[in-house]
């Protein structure tokens, strides 16, 4: 079953919360909706400048096995304190050992030649 982006289901949401919409946008294609870097922003995986990071509507991966189109039905953003943001950064850094503080990930108009 395909996702009709021109005539989407009523429960499909297209707008991200304002804080997230500054750096991301939602794309729709016939198989899935995805969250991607907003125009003017470049996201990258630590240590890679070629793979385009996306957040698919079928996350977690287990749900990908269920039939039918995948789309978002709700978005929620929670603002973190500086201390909580630092704790989360430390947690996620453990999953990306090649990441360094100040890397190019999620910087406006970042290009591989400007990343260190």
pLDDT of residue 3: 87
Mean pLDDT of 91-116: 54
Flag whether pLDDT at 97 surpasses 80. Answer: no
pTM: 0.70
Degrees to nearest 5, angle at CA 81 with 107 and 16? 55
Where exactly are the structural domains of the chain? Answer: 18-114
pLDDT of residue 61: 61
Mean pLDDT of 60-85: 82
């Amino acid at each position: 079953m395909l996702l009709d982006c021109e005539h989407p289901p009523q429960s499909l949401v297209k707008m991200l919360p304002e804080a997230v919409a500054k750096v991301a946008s939602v794309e729709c294609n016939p198989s899935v909706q995805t969250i991607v870097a907003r125009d003017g922003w470049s996201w990258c995986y630590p240590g890679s400048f070629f793979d385009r990071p996306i957040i698919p509507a079928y996350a977690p991966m287990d749900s990908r096995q269920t039939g039918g189109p995948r789309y978002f039905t709700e978005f929620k953003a929670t603002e973190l304190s500086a201390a909580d943001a630092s704790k989360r950064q430390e947690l996620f850094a453990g999953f990306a050992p090649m990441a360094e503080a100040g890397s190019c990930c999620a910087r406006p108009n970042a290009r591989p030649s400007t990343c260190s």
